[in-house]
Structure 1
């Protein structure tokens, strides 16, 4: 599994974007890359470099997804009928940790993964502790009753930092929500421009 615990925001400076749109992002203060060579003038990226950056942005946004796992999502997106780039976004948004994050039960995608891992989430009344679990349309996701008093959950639910997207319904009084439909790219509230079509080009070289 990919580890990015202490330096999870370093990717923002490496890519030059505020990937999660958070005020604490270091790119807000220092737009240049991390490390001793971070302030060097960047060369004009090649087509490969542009595609690689698009892949790193999309993969990095969803937290600690390994390259092997992300490649599996690509392969599944190719296998399905329809637009491959839209299929890829739909698969990523159906991950349980992504849905929990979208429902504002947690403040970050990293805390969403940990929250699910620790057994705080029910899917259709059954405990699921696998962050990559694929949520289906109509599934009901609930925070366990014993976990509803966790300060992080209360703070995230009341935070004005993010809005719940249209493809998800949430009742914050019950800390329960339902996954209404698989979104397309324009439905997903990414804080930065994502280019899944370039990700598809990267893997299909």
Structure 2
């Protein structure tokens, strides 16, 4: 599957544009806040007392909280990112949840509910392989999954890559254990839905794949 490292230049350029826009915004705001010094009217008494010492010049007006919207500079809206993040986490929970006495085909179907057809086929082949099934049955493995979102690794129009930690709480004949694994999970937008297009081990340095989704 294609890496998205060739698109990092575009992401960096977008960040530069956003920073430049912030600079322009602050400059314009500072200029507009200035007011012309009133001129003394005829007959007014002009004080000759020395001016109070300046404490460093005029204090610039702070930017009001919420005045700058970072989402205006991103290819996806806040709601779209939230929906994709929710889908990524639910997929990770499903991936980390299975038991030795469950029909492997049923486990595969649960995963396919979150993925594109191509990735669903790959995952189904992995989780139903005879070696995997026999190993879990021999040790009577029961895995209860949970997940947490770690970071956004990349974002583009119609796709987003999250790093998600899948946590497994395992009971087995060999003894209980808990382990967490970080995955780079790429989601692509299909209509109004988000589907998992790719999953790679995050520690291997994979960026995921943009998937070529379409923004609705």
What TM bracket, shorter-length normalisation? Answer: under 0.3
With the length of structure 1 as denominator, give the TM-score of the two structures.
0.20
With the length of structure 2 as denominator, give the TM-score of the two structures.
0.20
Give the number of the structure with larger relative contact order, counting CA–CA contacts within 8 Å between residues 6 or more apart.
1
- Whichever structure has more strand as a proportion of its residues is 2
Higher radius of gyration, 1 or 2: 2
